[in-house]
Structure 1
Amino acid sequence: MSIDEEATFQFHANGSTATAALLLHGYMGTPRELRPLGEALAAAGVTTRGELLPGFGKEGRPQLGRVRAEDWLDAARAAWLEVTRGAAHRTLIGFSMGGALALTLAADPAVRPDALVLLAPYWRMADRRAVLLPVAHFVMPRFQPFGKLDFTDPATRLTLAEAVPGVDLDDPDVQRSFQEEMTVPTHSLHQLRRLGLRASRARLAPQTSRVIVQGLQDPTTLPQDSRDLSRMIGARLIEVPADHMLVDQNAPAWERVRDAVLSRAVPKPGQSG
């Protein structure tokens, strides 16, 4: 994957009503995973931006161990203010970690979107050891999430193929890379947990419409977590037969996910703001 493919993208659309949307990607992801959704929004007349967050992509990854949750928020806020300037209807869309980021940002009076769409929002860590991260990141600087993998296991292959599209999982060098070289700074997991805690305390403006789309076979953002979140923030919950990669245009539930986003991002006749 080239650096250009990972970069921030912006699609300009001309419609009778100025509409704009910001897309926020997941942890260890890039805007590339959101391009199909961005293209669908642009085709519907929505000016759309997918922002590359600090610490991600080939160029940003070396800095991930120094990036704080506040850096993600600052970058997302700046992108939001730029892409929505002058828009009559503004939609904030977050996938996975981007969902926690979008929810936190939506509570900011300077942001306050007209519509908030959370796709498999990763706001609660299922692993009970996550409570140790405030201390663990000092004593264990790096974590190997891909150690001791069974590359013959179909579920493992699917997970890795989704994480790194196009990779040759039968290549011994690629397998060695996953097992030995692909490490995550524990500091960044601590920041991810901090972001999730902030998201759980977010209080949205009454005029912000909100919807959560959740895959029923998702092992990363658990369905129960999205059910809990929907009750907490008063969001409509749409559950679909899908895993975590809701934004994959080749997934069976893609059309339902896309249409759920478009229904919020494209204002109905006579609706603005």
Structure 2
Amino acid sequence: MDAARFYGHERHQDFWLGEGPRRALLVHGFPGTPAELRALGGWLAARGFRVHAPLLPGFGADIPNLGKTRRAAWLGAARRAWEALREGQGAQTVLLGFSMGGALALQVAARGAPPDKLVLLAPFWRLRDPRARWLPALQYAVRELRPFENTDFSASTVRAQFARLEPSLDLDDPAVQEALRTQVALPTSALVELQRLGAEAYRAAPRVRAPALVIQGLDDDTVAATDTRRLALRLGGPVTLFEVPGSHHLIAPGGPEFAGLCERLERELL
């Protein structure tokens, strides 16, 4: 499946929204793009925020280079975006990360200028599969993994994921299903970088002094609620943890999970 075609739409590019005095940086997940945060960005922009969501290196149309991209590049991009967003401002600042973006936002908050509020949505810090411990060695023998090889494309959670990523895909088309199963591959080396990034975020958590809002879906099969509780307990500043009904797709617009997320954010940020 051609990356340029799949990620060619402008929804996958970085975006700036809103002209309000407050500032918010939104950091996407793995292997996502700013598209997954656009609805949330629009919601914040309508409430007085100037919102920026950068496209991280190795994602979107650049995904053919993901295997050559290291976590330092992701962290550097997030840090530069945060520094640029803060320039010349005196209003409220929010640093928000979703999934892998949570690991990046946490490290940016720990190492650089702290936000007025750190928001972590289903924050990733470890791979749940116990076989993940073999990834550092496996990367030299198995160069890539096919994440959709055995996917049930009729599952509602899968459809929600693709609706957020690329709504034009017809998941009922057998040709589309076959292409996703056989042509979409993730470099094993990228998963190792993801794994190491999460471990570094977990270790950095006690250095975060900014007030943190953590929101976690109880039915999340990507980031476990038990893992998020452990991470929240390590944060060095005041923490508000909300565990809500829902899956990993809290940020998918149009459903009760997104409405509940916005309600929580309105109470805590506005």
TM-score, normalization: structure 2? 0.90
Structure-2 residue corresponding to 1:271 = none
After the TM superposition, which residues 1-273 of structure 1 pair with which residues of structure 2 at under 5 Å, given as runs? 2-14=8-20, 18-58=21-61, 60-88=62-90, 89-108=92-111, 110-154=112-156, 156-202=158-204, 203-206=206-209, 208-233=210-235, 235-266=239-270
1:124 CA displacement: 1.4
Shift of 1:256: 2.5
Quote the offset at 1:44 in angstroms: 1.1
Deviations 1:31-88, CA, capped at 9 Å, x for gaps: 1111111111111111110111111112x11110111110000000111111121222
With over 3 angstroms needed to count, the CA separation of the structure-2 counterparts of 1:239 and 1:82, relative to structure 1, is same
Distance 2:78 2:155 in 1: 37
1:148-199 deviation digits (Å, cap 9, x = unpaired): 3344555554555455433111212211111110110001100100110011
Q: Distance in 1 between matches of 2:118 and 2:159?
A: 33
Given residue 147 of structure 1, which amino acid in structure 2 is its aligned partner? Answer: E
> By how many angstroms is 1:12 displaced?
3.4
Q: Any stretches of 5+ residues in structure 1 without a counterpart?
A: 267-273
Task: Give, in whole Å, the separation in 2 of the partners of 1:219 and 1:69.
Answer: 23
Contact 1:91 1:113 in 2 (8 A): yes
Alpha carbons of structure 1 residues 74 and 130: separation in structure 2 relative to 1, 3 Å? same
CA-CA distance at 1:24 after TM superposition? 0.3
Shift in alpha-carbon separation, 1:214–1:54, aligned structure 2, 3 A = same
Deviations 1:196-242 (A, max 9, x none): 00110113343x11011011111111111111111121521111111
Relative to structure 1, the CA distance from residue 158 to residue 22 in structure 2 (aligned partners, 3 Å threshold; closer, same or farther) is closer
Structure 2 letter corresponding to 1:73 = L
- How has the CA–CA distance of structure 1 residues 38 and 156 changed in structure 2, closer, same or farther, with 3 Å as cutoff? closer
Deviation at 1:262, TM superposition (A): 4.0
Change (3 A) 1:194 1:30: same
Q: Is the 8 A contact 1:146 1:178 kept in 2?
A: yes
Residue type of the alignment partner of 1:23: L
Question: Matched residues in 2 for 1:83 and 1:238: separation?
Answer: 27
SS of 2:139 mapped into structure 1: helix
CA distance in 1, matches of 2:156, 2:12: 27
Instruction: Sort the Cα spacing of 1:255 and 1:174 in 2 relative to 1 into closer, same or farther, 3 A.
Output: same
**Which amino acid in the other structure matches residue 253 of structure 2?**
Q
Counterpart CA distance in 2 for 1:213 and 1:4 is 28
Moved over 6 A (4+): none
Q: Which moved more, 1:149-158 or 1:130-139?
A: 149-158
CA distance, structure 1, for counterparts of residue 268 and residue 128 of structure 2: 29
Contact 2:36/2:165 (<8 A) preserved? no
Aligned residue pairs total 260
Question: What fraction of aligned residue pairs are identical, expressed as a percent?
Answer: 40
Hey, what does 1:270 align to over in structure 2? none
TM-score (norm 1): 0.89
CA contact (8 A) 2:161 2:249 kept: no
SS of equivalent to 2:263: helix
